[in-house]
Structure 1
Amino acid sequence: MQNDKLKSYISLHLIVFIWGFTAILGALITITADAIVWYRMLLAAVFLFVFILFKKKPFRIPLNSFFKLIFVGFLIAMHWITFFHAIHVSNVSITLSVFSLGAFFASLLEPLFYGRKVLWYEVFFGLIIIAGLGMIMKVEVNYLNGMLYALVSIILGVLFTLMNGKLIKNHDATVISFYEFIAGVFFISIYFLYQNKFTADFFVLSFNNWALMLILASICTAYAFTASVKVMEKLSPYTVMLTTNLEPVYGIILAYFIIGGKEKMSVSFYVGAVIIIITVILNGIIKHKAGKKAVATIEDASPADLV
């Protein structure tokens, strides 16, 4: 059990690193945020459809689960649209730094979704992260619009993460992701039809945009998103959200070397980022020790205690 959790945690860190690169792609792709998400979800759904056929997995799911997936797909679409828009009106570093609030929101909402008690250290770590974010916001007020879009995005992200944490208990992660992506494409398409956005120019992308979009849809979406849903078989949504706070770190470092000048921030910004890193590490240590303690308690219990 502990080895499974460790593997899931390592897998999650790889996923978060990939998500950090996702923000870079969003900054480099030169089409609107909603168009990026439409192409991203459509192409990712195609990749997953082929994968599900290859693995001969069943597409059939109960009707009540189907409607839940449709709703989660809508949340995901809105989450990504506000995410990419935040990057376009500010930058990668600012957008990803606001995502550190995800752990705090998860610490409050997860007990409501799962019927467990609030853990004091989860709220405490969440508050520390807010303090780190406060240092960033204090000196980067020019990017307020981007911060607000990022805030809406992370709230939506927490909600669909919590819902997927329940759905994964009864359904395959790949099938879950496929239906959610299809739902997202459906809702965005309705909006585009209403706004008459489906013009000939909409379907004309530069070679550079197509190349970046394929990377975004395959590695950063079809693989990373599905894998992030799967790890919740072993890890709690809160741990997923808190570990996701490393996304700003990976993304900021990558942005600095790939994009350059626009991503250079103040000293206070980097101090806030360090606070976030330390908080994530402490959470991992506490949860690891708690897991070992729980295993030891079970191993020491008599057979009568376990009946």
Structure 2
Amino acid sequence: MNTILKSHFKLHFVVLLYGFTAILGKLVSLPSPQLVWYRMFIAALVLGIFMRLKGIPFAIGKNNIIKIMGVGLVVAFHWITFFGAVKISNVSVTLGCMASTTLFASFLEPIIFRKRIKWIEVLIGIIIISGLYLIFQFELGYLKGILTALTSAFLAGLFTVLNKLFIDKHHPVTISFYEMGSGFAAITIFLAFTGTFNGKMVPPSTMDIVFVLILGVICTAYAFVAAVDVMKVLSAYSVVLAINMEPVYGILLAFAIFGQSEYMSAGFYIGTAVILLAVFLHPVLTRKMNIRN
């Protein structure tokens, strides 16, 4: 098997792991803040060890660390709302709405980087909004979960765009290490102020510990390092297309594992298909426009 084919298999395995995080969020009985607290601690620890073994630099300047740690707070809140949406609705609803991350990123990027909004992104945005309308129309029983998932999608788009400020200047693993560490610290402060550590902490079951370790080590630390590794071989276009499969893989896994509780109305699947169509069209149309220019 050649290197390119191996990298494609590896990339799709990583995307499968991304989709599996929603499954783990439903399986773990812990409240969302506690779940993310464990996840970020484990991920920061594993990434720190990896950096030490590989000689990846920790020192990137005090101001840069502070800025990156600020993005880590956004990541933490994104994950809290993501798992919160899974718990109050289901995996399908959450991942269907998370596909709208592209919409938020396409409008946030011009604002943050002071660029003009491209007509392609406006078109994609209109298609995604129409898909969201269909989901809202047919799944009002999951309204709270939909709104929470959309909040999570907005935050995902925000930290994705903000990370572009650092990705060309610092090693991506270093960026993730400080983001995981700052998120863990912020949630620790939150849990301390809310008195969670004083008898309100939900004790994890044996299976919770197993699932959280899988989430932190495999679905977070390993998945990120592996994604960075395949980018050395595959084009950014190939990576973006593959990552767009996350909702598809996640929803299929949810069907296989949870069965009846994940069945939705026909309107939901039509709306999700419209959103996914827009998400796949985005890199294709952007690439064609770049080639013409």
For the aligned pair, the TM-score class normalised by the smaller chain equals 0.7 to 0.9
Name the residue aligned to 2:194: 195
- Work out the CA distance in 2 between the residues paired with 1:7 and 1:290: 29
Aligned 8 A contact 1:100 1:133 in 2 = no
- Work out the CA distance in 2 between the residues paired with 1:228 and 1:44: 15
Residues 149-174 of structure 1 deviation map (CA, whole Å, 9 limit, x = unaligned): 11211111111111111211100111
Name the residue aligned to 1:165: 164
Name the residue aligned to 2:46: 47
1:82 aligned to 2:81?
yes
Residues 62-119 of structure 1 deviation map (CA, whole Å, 9 limit, x = unaligned): 1221111111111111110111111111111111111122212111111223343322
- Structure 1 63/225 Cα, relative in aligned 2: closer, same or farther at 3 Å? same
Residues 222-241 of structure 1 correspond to what in structure 2 (within 5 A)? Answer: 222-226=221-225, 235=236, 240=240
- Work out the CA distance in 1 between the residues paired with 2:205 and 2:236: 40
- Work out the CA distance in 2 between the residues paired with 1:243 and 1:115: 28
Aligned 8 A contact 2:105 2:160 in 1 = no
Larger Rg: 1
- Structure 1 265/134 Cα, relative in aligned 2: closer, same or farther at 3 Å? same
1:178 aligned to 2:142?
no
Could you say which structure has the greater relative contact order, defined with CA pairs below 8 angstroms and 6 or more residues apart? 2
Read off the aligned partner of 1:251 and give its amino acid letter.
G
Residues 1-307 of structure 1 correspond to what in structure 2 (within 5 A)? Answer: 14-199=13-198, 202=201, 204-226=203-225, 235=236, 240=240, 245-290=244-289, 292-293=291-292
Residues 225-282 of structure 1 deviation map (CA, whole Å, 9 limit, x = unaligned): 456678599749xx95x87553322211110111111100011111122223322332
SS of the aligned residue for 1:105 comes to helix
Instruction: For structure 2, list consecutive stretches of 5 or more residues without a partner in the other structure.
Output: none
Question: 1:50 deviation in Å?
Answer: 0.9
Q: Which moved more, 1:177-186 or 1:220-229?
A: 220-229
Q: Which moved more, 1:192-201 or 1:10-19?
A: 10-19
| TM-score of the two chains, using structure 2 as the length reference | 0.88
Read off the aligned partner of 1:127 and give its amino acid letter.
I
- Work out the CA distance in 1 between the residues paired with 2:243 and 2:110: 19
- Work out the CA distance in 2 between the residues paired with 1:67 and 1:207: 36
Aligned 8 A contact 2:40 2:181 in 1 = yes
Read off the aligned partner of 2:175 and give its amino acid letter.
I
| TM-score of the two chains, using structure 1 as the length reference | 0.84
Aligned 8 A contact 1:136 1:268 in 2 = yes
**CA RMSD, 1 decimal:** 2.9
Question: 1:224 deviation in Å?
Answer: 2.8
Read off the aligned partner of 2:160 and give its amino acid letter.
T
Q: Which moved more, 1:57-66 or 1:24-33?
A: 57-66
Aligned 8 A contact 1:94 1:146 in 2 = yes
- Structure 1 205/214 Cα, relative in aligned 2: closer, same or farther at 3 Å? same
Aligned 8 A contact 1:8 1:235 in 2 = no
- Work out the CA distance in 2 between the residues paired with 1:228 and 1:127: 30
